[in-house]
Amino acid sequence: MELRRKLLKGGVSATLLAPLLGAGLLTPGRVLASEWKRSAFTAQNAADALTRLGVAASAESREIEFKAPEIAENGGKVEIEILCKLPNTRSLLIIAEKNPMPLCAELNFNGKALPYARVQLKLAETMRIRAVARTADGRNHVAFREIKVTLGGCGG
Amino acid sequence: MSEPIRIRAQLQGEIADIRVLMHHPMETGQRRDESGKPVPVHFIQTFSVKLNGQALIDGQLNTSISRNPLFAFKAGGIKAGDKLSVQWTDNTGAQRQDEITVG
């Protein structure tokens, strides 16, 4: 039952992929790059999601420019925009604190990509959104925005 | 077969604005259809944006990303004639990849 649930919930476990790796049908880089971080994404609160991603304390930073509407009439599509001005930002995490599964997205920036993103979220209710930026020195930085939602977005 | 990913890159001096629209239902698994049957969870889990085959952005998503989500990114070093491609994989294993030539 548990296995079936896992398969239904999407993706294939590493155990199932292992024989394919051995047979040379999949290259390890490809598998690693695309393995969805299930335990973090299915965590039911922000603290667990961050722990499962290995993110310890984050310092609040004014160098993260975070634009979000104060009020969202439709929680089904709420656009937020994040620009991190800290040097060597490698990734951004977007966390909707009161969603049933708070971790919304992890974005990793390579090459000449700027640590910038505009993303559309579903928000279940009025809540605080957290943007966590991870820099190459291993530090984590955070910024918050409160969004008031008049019509929740998880049912629709 | 899913609808093509819409990719647009606009050069603004040194920095290009990249917009990506992925057609996908992004079902949470918590919704019911008109007849009251639960709609199965169906969402994009991973995606990548590549410039001439080199990774620019790798992303992982949850069911809390909107239906038919639009993303915007920014990157330097993009010029006319470059190939910009986007690929996604959803929780059912379905994939889609599309590419544009920057104009």
Domains in chain A, ordered, with CATH? 2-34 (no CATH), 42-149 (2.60.40.2470)
Is pLDDT above 70 for A3?
no
Average predicted confidence (pLDDT) for chain A: 84
Is pLDDT above 90 for A98?
yes
- By CA distance, what is A98's nearest residue in B? B64
Whether residue B93 lies inside any domain: the answer is: yes
Is pLDDT above 50 for A49?
yes
- Which band of pLDDT confidence, cut at 50, 70 and 90, is reported for residue A34? low
Whether residue B72 lies inside any domain: the answer is: yes
Contact B46, B59 (CB under 8 A): yes
CATH number, domain containing residue B10? 2.60.40.10
The residues, any chain, with a CB within 8 Å of residue A52's CB and separated by 6 or more, are A37, A39, A40, A43
- A117 neighbourhood in chain B, CB within 8 Å: 71-73
Does A96 contact B at CB distance below 8 Å?
Answer: yes
- B51 neighbourhood in chain A, CB within 8 Å: 111-112
Burial (CB count <10 Å: 0-12, 13-18, 19+), residue A74: middle
Whether residue B55 lies inside any domain: the answer is: yes
**What pLDDT does A154 receive?**
60
Does A151 contact B at CB distance below 8 Å?
Answer: no
Whether residue B15 lies inside any domain: the answer is: yes
Look at A58 and A141; give whichever has higher pLDDT.
A141
Whether residue B1 lies inside any domain: the answer is: no
Give the count of domains, chain B. 1
- Which band of pLDDT confidence, cut at 50, 70 and 90, is reported for residue B28? very high
Does A128 contact B at CB distance below 8 Å?
Answer: no
Average predicted confidence (pLDDT) for chain B: 96
- Look at B90 and A99 and tell me if their CB atoms are within 8 Å: no
Candidates B30, B64, B85: best to mutate against A (most CBs of A within 10 A) is B64
Written as six digits, the tokens of B41 are: 């969870």
* Domain membership of residue B93 as a residue range: 6-101
**What pLDDT does A24 receive?**
43
Whether residue B50 lies inside any domain: the answer is: yes
Is pLDDT above 50 for A32?
no
